[in-house]
């Protein structure tokens, strides 16, 4: 086999290996319809259609950011996933203010304090985070401006990251059971709408 044929063969093998790996991961992360049907909690659950990284999205009722808001949502029967659920606050119409600033963090002119926490049915805390999205910065995605909390300095996920890892699913009575949301605006907070979202998979 000459060098050119050997190189082509190696390339074909590599492509096949990568394709097989991606397909295998996608299969393991696939969202079966019965898993969505078994969800017994609040909000609207749906499948994220992504050929490479399929997932699950759960969204809750919108609320006005100019007023205080608190809610405890049931998330019983949340499908267990091979990748974490990321929990964040989404502002669908953030305006154009953020485009006028260069560098990080991204500001959208919505001051206030957000608290997100997830508990088991026993009351055990899985995570509990309280912060100002406007001070820490927002991220921009297809849904608008989004804010979750990730502490890059202190590696204590239970209190410093708004995500739920697969190992937190421990069976009946010990799985994630409730999501608590508390929003406290400042006097200058505009009357924009927002909602809380849980998402596992999707973007890559």
pLDDT in tens, 158-184: 566 899 999 999 887 889 999 999 999
Cβ–Cβ under 8 Å, residues 63 and 189: no
68-109 pLDDT tens trace: 999 999 999 999 999 999 999 999 998 877 666 666 688 899
- When pLDDT is cut at 50, 70 and 90, the band that residue 20 belongs to is very low
C-alpha distances (whole Å) from 12 to each of 6, 15, 147 are 10, 5, 42
Nearest-angstrom CA–CA distance, 98 and 183: 21
- Residue 71 confidence (pLDDT): 98
Neighbours of 5 (CB within 10 A): 9
Name the CATH architecture for the domain at 32-200: Sandwich (2.60)
Determine whether 132 is exposed, middle or buried from the number of CB atoms within 10 Å of its CB (0-12, 13-18, 19+). Answer: middle
User: Which two three-digit tokens encode residue 154?
Assistant: 């202190």
User: Which two three-digit tokens encode residue 204?
Assistant: 């890559």
């Amino acid at each position: 086999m000459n060098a050119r044929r050997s190189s082509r063969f190696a390339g074909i093998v590599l492509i096949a290996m990568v394709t097989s790996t991606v397909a295998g991961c996608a299969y393991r992360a696939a969202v079966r319809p019965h898993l969505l049907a078994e969800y017994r909690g609040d909000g609207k659950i749906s499948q994220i259609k992504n050929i490479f990284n399929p997932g699950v999205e759960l969204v809750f009722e919108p609320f006005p950011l100019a007023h205080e808001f608190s809610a405890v949502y049931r998330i019983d029967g949340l499908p267990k996933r091979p990748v974490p659920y990321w929990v964040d606050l989404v502002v669908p119409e953030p305006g154009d203010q953020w485009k006028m600033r260069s560098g990080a963090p991204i500001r959208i002119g919505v001051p206030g304090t957000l608290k997100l926490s997830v508990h088991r049915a026993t009351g055990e805390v899985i995570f509990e985070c309280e912060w100002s999205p406007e001070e820490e910065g927002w991220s921009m995605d297809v849904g608008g401006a989004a804010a979750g909390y990730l502490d890059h300095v202190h590696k204590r996920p239970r209190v410093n990251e708004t995500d739920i890892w697969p190992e937190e699913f421990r069976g009946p009575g010990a799985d994630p059971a409730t999501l608590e949301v508390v929003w406290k605006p400042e006097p200058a907070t505009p009357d924009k709408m927002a909602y809380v979202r849980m998402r596992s998979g999707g973007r890559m």
